[in-house]
Chains A and B, each alone.
Chain A
Amino acid sequence: MSAAILEVRGLNKSFGAVVAAKDINVNVMPAARLSLIGSNGAGKTTFVNMVTGYLKPDSGEVLLDGKPITGLPPRRITQAGVCRSFQIPQLCETMTPTENILVSTEIAAGGAPHFFRPARRRETLAAAAEMLERFGLTEFANRPVNELPGGVRKLVDIAMSLAMKPRVLLLDEPTSGVSSEEKFPLMDKVMAALAGEKAAAIFVEHDMDIVTRYADRVLAFYAGEIIADDAPEDVLSDPAVQKYVTGTAR
């Protein structure tokens, strides 16, 4: 039927009286650049959390490459090929970016554990260096991440996820907490790093300039529902989106 890598069918989630997801249906194609927009509390993070296994949906299905991953623990979902980064970077704080990437590549390699083979080998270090270079992080490679500035930490977090070679990468607010001058350079780096990858990228974003520049498709959330799903210019000119999401309606 469709060649979608990720299919979300009829997802519902309520927290008590709050409907955080209502009949969410989405098909995501390989290499898509999909942006999720919506005002605070609209249900974007809930969507990300249900796809990545942090939350179990009340009903509905999530399929990766046609196979159900609904309600699996996060670890299994990652192993299946859906990886996420975090709004607040989740790093190994006393380790360097290189070591953080090595953690990813070690886990991604899978297979039987090699207890007597060094983690730092020529090929693993080269792969980590290459990943950091793609994100323009070479100069920070060997400093503990807890000493690094916020924007760099965000990139390390995303690099850790991308090093897993995911088929779907979800980024929850990659540019939040970063100064407005830094936002475009940061997204440029993320997009450049993604360029060679088949991974579909789904990113939650509040800045509409970022959305128009980097997304090829936009989902607009309002009160747990998707109220628009189309190319950026069409979604952003939609009256309902202007009323409920961007607040640009007159």
Chain B
Amino acid sequence: MIRVFGLAALGAVLAIVAGALAPAWLVFTMTKAIAFGLVALGIVGLMRGGLVSFGQGLYYCAGAYVSGLLAARFGVSEAALLLLIGAVTGAAAAALVSPLIARYRGIFFAMLTMALSMVLYGVLAKATPIGGTDGFNVPRPSFGGWTPGPESADLALYVVAVVFAAVAAALCRLYYDSGPGLVALAARENELRVEYLGASVFTVTQRNFILAGGLAGLGGALNGMALGHVDPFFSYWTTSGEVVFIAILGGYASAVAVFGAALIVELVRSFSGQYFPESWQLFLGIFLLLVIIFLPRGFGSLWAKRATGAKGAGE
């Protein structure tokens, strides 16, 4: 446990130093990458239980909207508090639908999660009091009472994001390596056996789903603050698809690789979006194909010794 948190702290310090040295546009991109990385980290947890959700946009959007509304309408400005509220909102929303969703497996699970996220999209698009399809603006957050000027606001948010990401990744790593984490991996490999050993695959799924919802809500709140704006597109299926993409890129062996994967996706997006605005998804697609062919278990498998995850490799 000490080792995991030590590594997380070291990683956080390095990331913060990198952020302090990086140009402003890159800091903004890295913050967004952390937000998507957090959502993808939740999907990684689901993947370890043998499932992929194509509807994480729902919890991501819920976290963004609830924290964004509290900031915009009720004057809550503390960044850390808003992030926590986002996480709780995402987890609560996931907990609400989990009894239904945890009964399904495979493609049915994926489709149902996606359908639910599109329901939220539809509802928010019609909700004119909170901006309809345009969404609304989210004011700049404060940090322990201090509201930074525009020149340091992005960096301040980035630092908070790094701290949250480091804690989340460390906690996920501990969970992956724990007994319940091992049982989740077993459910991925052989559901029948897990049930005949006396564990409930339903419970495992529900737990991973609520965790993923919380991480998605956290990422949503973060991205709302980073962009200064939220809209129903947060719950659109392409948003969910992008994080699935990041999760596959990162692989399920590591709790850190998703953040690297998210950064790559964000960088590819900004560069190819600049030069080939219509076809950046094509580049991502080719890139994903290459990863699937050459690193079928994702980037994380580069440093995790084996992808069973029961080994404590690759924090």
| Residues in A lying within 8 Å of B, measured CB to CB | 52, 73-76, 78-79, 83-84, 86, 90-96, 99-100, 102-104, 106-109, 113-120, 160-161, 164
Asked, given contacts A92-B185, A114-B180, A119-B177, whether A102 binds B193 with beta carbons under 8 Å apart, the answer is no
Contact between A78 and B198, CB atoms less than 8 A apart: yes
How far in angstroms is the closest Cβ of chain A from B80?
22
Is B181 interfacial (CB-CB < 8 Å)? yes
Interface of A is mostly: mixed
Contact between A92 and B190, CB atoms less than 8 A apart: yes
Residues on A with C-beta less than 8 A from B179 are: 102, 106, 109, 113-114, 117, 119
Scoring B residues 161 to 187 as 1 if CB is less than 8 Å from chain A, else 0, what string do you get? Answer: 000000000010011011111110110
Choice from B180, B186, B199, B312 contacting A95 with Cβ under 8 Å: B186
Residues on A with C-beta less than 8 A from B311 are: 120
Choice from A93, A103, A109, A120 contacting B194 with Cβ under 8 Å: A103
Contact between A118 and B197, CB atoms less than 8 A apart: no
How far in angstroms is the closest Cβ of chain B from A136?
22
Interface of B is mostly: helix
Choice from B171, B197, B200, B312 contacting A103 with Cβ under 8 Å: B197
Choice from A108, A116, A117 contacting B198 with Cβ under 8 Å: A108
CA distance A164 to B197 in the complex (A): 7
Contact between A84 and B196, CB atoms less than 8 A apart: yes
Contact between B197 and A107, CB atoms less than 8 A apart: yes
Which interface residue of B182, B189, B197 has the most chain A CB atoms within 10 A?
A: B197
CA distance A103 to B171 in the complex (A): 21
CA distance A211 to B1 in the complex (A): 51
Is B307 interfacial (CB-CB < 8 Å)? yes
How far in angstroms is the closest Cβ of chain B from A72?
11
Choice from A76, A113, A116 contacting B174 with Cβ under 8 Å: A116
Contact between B196 and A103, CB atoms less than 8 A apart: no
27 A-B residue pairs with CB within 8 Å: A74-B195, A75-B196, A76-B198, A83-B196, A86-B193, A90-B190, A91-B193, A92-B186, A92-B190, A95-B310, A99-B182, A99-B308, A99-B310, A103-B183, A103-B197, A107-B199, A108-B197, A109-B179, A114-B178, A114-B180, A115-B175, A118-B174, A119-B179, A119-B181, A119-B182, A160-B197, A161-B197
